[in-house]
Chains A and B, each alone.
Chain A
Amino acid sequence: MSIRQLVFDFFALCGHRPIEVCPGVWQVKADDGLMQALDGWRAQGRLLQFSFQRDLAEAYGAELISPGSYRLNTILRLVQGQGLLSQAHIPHHLFHEPGIRKRVLAECAGTGRAYVLTSSAHFGQYLQLELSAQARGLQKKESLHTIVVNLSSGEVLKFAFPFHLLQAGSVPTEQIRRRKCSLKQAYLKAAAHVSELWSQDDQSWVEQALGKMAEEEKKLREFYQGRTSTAEFTAKLQELRGRLHPGLSIRALRGAILFTPLFRYRLVVVSASGRERVCTVMYDPIANLRELD
């Protein structure tokens, strides 16, 4: 992941184009709004000169942008405050509809035959969640997870979502299929999935933290000997456990609604015995799911 690319993308999205005033040193004319967003309400617009190399930054009096530097942190903080919720879609034309139709017909026909009465294009909904999982114990560990939940089935996607096919923006409302799973359910399922992943990892840190907590708790009980029923002891015990009990906190950082193509066919299925049956089939090419509507 390139810091340089992130910084240039950031300025581009803000409508600025940094100019390389000498090799490795860049300048951008930041207006009041941008500087205030970066440095707080007291800041004023100015020529922001920056470099990604320490020696150049020092030589030219430019602001250094490198891991941990003040300027990078302000940019990261500002960017992280954006993009809380977004939406994107995968257009139908990226899939070969005749092929899908053929496949659906073949699967529905079985030993008989089937033909399409009507067909329509719809969009299904997926919820993409960026989750942060923070392990609390003697040491803090953090990992980020991108989880996608199918809002029709309520299932967490176990396979890779074709993010490369996504295009910005929404789709016509009338084409969107109603979701069957609530957002809260989807979030809980995604979080449960992350906690499962964590529980499969090395758990020695949990044991260590529990051992330390037991040791500290013993000292505390000795200190409050005969007074363990007091509110003060309860508060101190709670404070101790809050600090040392190994735990995993999962929180959502941001989310996106992803609209994916659904192909809906109204079919007439004629069995081998000649009996006709009308059914509606919805095909989701992302999950490769076919369901009777």
Chain B
Amino acid sequence: MHPLFPQTTSAWPPKDTAAVLQEYCLGKLQVQIEAAGFGRIVKELRARRFDTWEWYQLARRADRLAAAQNQTQGLLALEHLRERWQETGVIPYEHQIRTAERVIHELHGQAILADEVGLGKTIEAGLILTEYMLRGLVKKVLILTPANLIWQWYYELYEKFGLAAGIQRTPWDWTYADVLIASLDTAKREPHASIVKSIVYDLLIIDEAHKLKNSSTASYRLVNSLQKKYCLMLTATPVQNELKELYNLIGLIKPGQLGSYQSFKRRFMADKRTPKNPRELRQLLDQVMIRNRREEGTVRFTERIVHPIIVALGPREQEIYLRVNEFIKSRGRRAGPSSMLPLITLQREVCSSFLAVALTLEKMMASLAEAELAEAAALLKDLAEVKQNSKCDALERLVAQFSDKAIIFTEYRASQEYIRYRLERAGYRTLAFDGSLSRGQKQWVRHLFQREAQFLVSTESGGEGLNFQFCNLVVNFDLPWNPMRLEQRIGRVHRLGQMRDVHIYNLITKDTVEEHIMYLLHKKINMFESIIGELDAILLHLNLGKSFESEIMKIFLEHEEREQIQAQLDGLAEKILSSRDEIRAASWEG
């Protein structure tokens, strides 16, 4: 403690309670005389602790200066954070500043921030939080996020806003920390729920708020019962499936804004998904929701440059591939759609690594009939004997050209381990990143990757929630069939804050299903070079009987010829693009 500032720790930040000494009405004005500040003065007097007259006078001048600053209409946070943002390379975008100003001055701190993916909703929320804190309007803050985003929030707030938030670990943390980040799933469980409900929050921030779309869930009920002055809900997809989801979300922020559910249905719903009176609906939504879209010129993203690398399999590999393919097709026809999932996995793995196929096949053997067992066993034996992996050879050649960090994505743990083995053998420093890592471990791996290692070999599950803008090279060792998963991969590096063009290297095995997938994702719907946006809504709108992957598998099983398969994929791509247009045409977003 500094001898000159004996009260610093106890007096700032002041642990004032909002106790009111006296309350009365003066005309229509409700007057509250607060006890806390005066209580502290009396406490000092009783202890006979007097500050010097010079400090007192200086503090009076500081009070006046701070009050004058608070009267400004613009955002104080922008000037306050200017130097920090220069150091950390944060450039606030016009739409983010506009959003923060609107939330504070027009929406009175109650808003759904529904910007499309990658437009910086976290920055907007942090800006609003900092502004409120600077103006002294907010002190007790709760940030509820999915568990895998807790550390990301912590780092964002610390690095970009200089706020050292607490992370909830014990029931004690709820009352102790002024700015607390917690998992929504933890908060809704006892004993936490009772504690959280008893606290009055100045600001509540909920990330991934679409998880509250269903009003009958425990999460929804918890958030609905929290006592809060201001509330921000962050989601890129306020409507995922039905308009009722939007109604439920608005009900949390401002109950009654859209009337009762019956009147909402009558006035604004043509059917479950299609709105009517979109203009009127939009007017009402404008009072509680801000949605910035990419095509509105909000942000200039760097380019995505795609490099397809065609890998030819060796003769032995080609032979094994065909045998696995034949096994999948024959079993697919016999078993029917009910046991499609393991076959889809096999079909995808065969383009990744035979090691992955062998592991899945071994698991499948437990449920195979006698007749199929011999065939599978023979196949397994041959798979084990293949020593060559042309894709990994190509990967080694590719990374030898890199002078910068790269993320190598694969969908399978077996492939991940094999890639790491090959790269480490070649003298590179690699790190593994996957769903088995805890939150802290993921952050640590990210930190190590940023500072030391050259390659991060990541599985799909590891790709969610963490951002790697410091890296601009992405290698897709295998291609996911679902465009959503592909977008999630690229989205880890190609997002706000990425200053360089992003290079995407796709390793495609020649004459395999991967070529067809590349044809669909790259040539037909141009996934790599453009950002489709609202992909999840589009896929839901497609109303496929099963998953997107099943739909593709069905095409592969039902058609043999290359041209036939391509014609079917053309049809699917056409459906995706027309769905997008339909969604936009009928959108409540206008």
Interface residues of A (CB under 8 A from B): 1, 3, 6, 9-10, 13-15, 33-34, 36-37, 40, 63-64, 66-71, 73, 75-88, 130, 132, 138-144, 146, 166-170, 183-184, 187-188, 191, 195-196, 198-199, 203, 206-207, 210, 216, 219-225, 232, 235-236, 239, 242-257
In the complex, B54 has a CB within 8 A of chain A:
yes
Q: Which residues of B contact A187 (CB under 8 A)?
A: 21, 33, 38
Given contacts A86-B56, A246-B30, A252-B37, contact A78 B84 (CB under 8 A): no
In the complex, B22 has a CB within 8 A of chain A:
yes
Q: Which residues of A contact B26 (CB under 8 A)?
A: 195-196, 198-199, 248
B63 lies within 8 A of A132 (CB): yes
Which of B21, B58, B79 sits near A6, CB closer than 8 Å? B58
Give chain A nearest CB distance to B491 CB in angstroms: 32
B41 lies within 8 A of A255 (CB): yes
Nearest CB to that of B264 among chain A residues?
A: A223
Selected A-B contacts with CB under 8 Å, 28 pairs: A13-B58, A68-B72, A68-B76, A73-B134, A77-B12, A78-B5, A79-B61, A80-B66, A81-B8, A81-B14, A82-B7, A83-B57, A83-B59, A85-B44, A85-B50, A85-B51, A87-B50, A130-B60, A142-B71, A183-B41, A187-B33, A187-B38, A191-B22, A206-B29, A224-B255, A248-B26, A251-B37, A254-B56
B51 lies within 8 A of A82 (CB): yes
In the complex, B447 has a CB within 8 A of chain A:
no
Q: Which residues of B contact A168 (CB under 8 A)?
A: 52-54
Q: Which residues of A contact B71 (CB under 8 A)?
A: 141-142
A82 lies within 8 A of B79 (CB): no
B41 lies within 8 A of A13 (CB): no
Given contacts A188-B33, A203-B27, contact A144 B53 (CB under 8 A): no
Interface residues of B (CB under 8 A from A): 1-5, 7-8, 11-12, 14, 21-22, 26-34, 36-38, 40-42, 44-45, 49-72, 76, 78-84, 105, 108-110, 134-135, 137, 162, 164, 224-225, 227-229, 251, 254-257, 259-260
Q: Which residues of B contact A199 (CB under 8 A)?
A: 26-27, 29
- Measured CA separation A183–B14 after assembly (Å): 21
B2 lies within 8 A of A33 (CB): yes
Give chain A nearest CB distance to B335 CB in angstroms: 51
Which of A1, A170, A242 sits near B68, CB closer than 8 Å? A1
Give chain A nearest CB distance to B554 CB in angstroms: 46
A252 lies within 8 A of B38 (CB): yes
B51 lies within 8 A of A83 (CB): yes
Given contacts A245-B30, A248-B31, contact A235 B58 (CB under 8 A): no
Q: Which residues of A contact B7 (CB under 8 A)?
A: 81-82, 84
Which of A40, A64, A195, A224 sits near B164, CB closer than 8 Å? A40
- Measured CA separation A196–B29 after assembly (Å): 11
B2 lies within 8 A of A84 (CB): no
Give chain A nearest CB distance to B103 CB in angstroms: 14
Q: Which residues of A contact B82 (CB under 8 A)?
A: 64, 69-70
- Measured CA separation A210–B41 after assembly (Å): 34
Q: Which residues of A contact B51 (CB under 8 A)?
A: 82-86
A86 lies within 8 A of B55 (CB): yes
Give chain B nearest CB distance to A211 CB in angstroms: 11
Nearest CB to that of B86 among chain A residues?
A: A58
B83 lies within 8 A of A9 (CB): no
Give chain A nearest CB distance to B178 CB in angstroms: 14
A183 lies within 8 A of B251 (CB): no
B28 lies within 8 A of A70 (CB): no
Nearest CB to that of A183 among chain B residues?
A: B42
Which of A14, A67, A166 sits near B79, CB closer than 8 Å? A67
Nearest CB to that of A233 among chain B residues?
A: B255
- Measured CA separation A34–B29 after assembly (Å): 43
Given contacts A85-B41, A86-B51, contact A79 B59 (CB under 8 A): yes
Give chain B nearest CB distance to A260 CB in angstroms: 15
Which of A10, A188, A251 has the most chain B CB atoms closer than 10 A to its own CB? A251
9 nearest CB pairs, A to B: A68-B79, A33-B2, A223-B256, A83-B59, A219-B256, A81-B12, A168-B53, A86-B56, A83-B56
Q: Which residues of A contact B3 (CB under 8 A)?
A: 33
- Measured CA separation A203–B42 after assembly (Å): 33
Nearest CB to that of A141 among chain B residues?
A: B71
Q: Which residues of B contact A248 (CB under 8 A)?
A: 26, 29-32
A-B contact sample (17 more), CB < 8 A, given A33-B2, A248-B26: A9-B54, A9-B58, A66-B79, A76-B65, A78-B8, A79-B58, A82-B8, A188-B21, A203-B29, A232-B225, A246-B28, A247-B29, A250-B34, A251-B36, A252-B34, A254-B60, A255-B41
Given contacts A87-B53, A252-B38, contact A15 B4 (CB under 8 A): yes
- Measured CA separation A146–B38 after assembly (Å): 14
Which of B21, B27, B80 sits near A68, CB closer than 8 Å? B80
Which of A10, A140, A142, A144 sits near B58, CB closer than 8 Å? A10
Q: Which residues of A contact B81 (CB under 8 A)?
A: 70
Nearest CB to that of A89 among chain B residues?
A: B53
Which of B27, B65, B164, B255 sits near A1, CB closer than 8 Å? B65
A142 lies within 8 A of B34 (CB): no
- Measured CA separation A255–B66 after assembly (Å): 18
